[in-house]
Amino acid sequence: MKNIVIVGAGQLGSRHLQALKTLDDAYNVFVIDTNQNSLSVSKERYNSMQIPDKNNVKYYDNFEQLPKDIEILINATNSNNRREIIEKILNFSNIKFMILEKILFAKKDDYFFIGDLIKNKGVKTWVNFSMRDMDFYFNLKKDLPNKQIIYQVVGSQYGLVTNAIHYLDHLVYLTDCKEFSIDTSLIDKNIIQSKRAGFNELNGVLSANFKNGSRITICCYPFGNNPVVVEIISPDIRLFYKESEGKVLMSKGLNDWDWLEIDAPITYQSQRTNKLVSDLTLKGDCNLTKYEDSVLTHIQLLDPLLSFINNNSNNKLNYYPFT
């Protein structure tokens, strides 16, 4: 059997693991986390799924049991230790495919160091910008022949930074335009702690102007329970997507701008990783963002945010305090 390794067995890593139980083919699955509680959560969630288990799943709190050859490595750790973990594994194992969670790294140099390392090692790598792997968001591109788009996101307390990078990547995908400039002037100067200890988050309004004339505005209120709504406008279509309800209200010029409600449920990670694994093993490719493309999106966002943090805090940081 081929080997799949999941590093980081916390909230997201455990969902990757659950999806593997639904695969048609059997795999050796290695789940690694130094935190025993995280390993226990992953094991409990995996075992709670009432379907036959074809896989051989093992849980470890160290890297000593890693196989020499890894078909797919999924790294779901925090940004501040991801480089070290990737280096450690690549020093011992041969990896064919790798999926990394965002935000990738805490230090700018790590983006280029790991880029060179995976290129030299021949590891095909993608970043889990999941909107590209959701049916509605993926298929929307064919309805947007005109690439100049106005994109707006509004909601309460959903994590501005950790989610902004998803929406920025989605607009990169829709427009085929990779270059943009960030405006931080309307972000709240009150820097808050992330739900993950040791990291920061922000509220307010973040916007970006794309080189092709597209624009995105992402608003996160620090209070209330306003559900996240995505609005996308182009000369061809206009839509409102209430993600929490999985409902889209859309009108198209081709249909005289009549409004139509569409069912578009958000798929969770536990429903998607199985497809990613199948795509990689069968086709050697998947819908996610290639590593080299994701680096530019990360840095164009994170450099201005780091400047914002340093201009509005007594602490002067030389790393990105986000994950």
Residue ranges covered by each domain of the chain: 3-128+271-287, 135-266+302-308
Q: 219, 210, 214, 222: which is closest to 178 by C-alpha?
A: 210
**pLDDT exceeds cutoff 90 at 315:** no
Point out which residues pair with 180 in neighbouring strands.
Answer: 210
Q: Matching CATH topology for 3-128+271-287 and 135-266+302-308?
A: no
pLDDT band at 197 (very low <50, low <70, confident <90, very high): confident
Residue-level pLDDT at 270: 98
Write the CB contacts of 111 (distance below 8 Å, at least 6 apart in sequence).
104, 105, 295, 298, 299
Residue-level pLDDT at 319: 98
Residue-level pLDDT at 274: 98
H/E segment holding residue 207: strand 204-210
Residue-level pLDDT at 172: 98
Fold topology of 3-128+271-287: Rossmann fold (3.40.50)
Residue-level pLDDT at 23: 98
The structure's pTM equals 0.97
Query: What's the pLDDT tens digit per position in 70-90?
Result: 999 999 999 999 999 999 999
Which CATH class name applies to 135-266+302-308?
A: alpha beta
Cα 184 to chain centroid, rounded: 22
Q: 42, 54, 52, 49: which is closest to 1 by C-alpha?
A: 54
**pLDDT exceeds cutoff 90 at 229:** yes
Residue-level pLDDT at 195: 87
Per cent of the chain over pLDDT 70 is 100
Q: Where are the alpha helices (DSSP H) in the chain?
A: 11-20, 36-47, 82-90, 108-121, 135-139, 160-175, 273-283, 291-311
Query: What's the pLDDT tens digit per position in 14-73?
Result: 999 999 999 999 999 999 999 999 999 999 999 999 999 999 999 999 999 999 999 999
Task: Give the tokens for residue 140.
Answer: 């929307």
Query: What's the pLDDT tens digit per position in 146-161?
Result: 889 999 999 999 999 9
Task: Give the up-direction half-sphere exposure of residue 313: CA atoms within 13 A in the CB hemisphere.
Answer: 18
Write the CB contacts of 44 (distance below 8 Å, at least 6 apart in sequence).
none
Question: Angle 36-47/11-20 helices, nearest 10 degrees?
Answer: 30
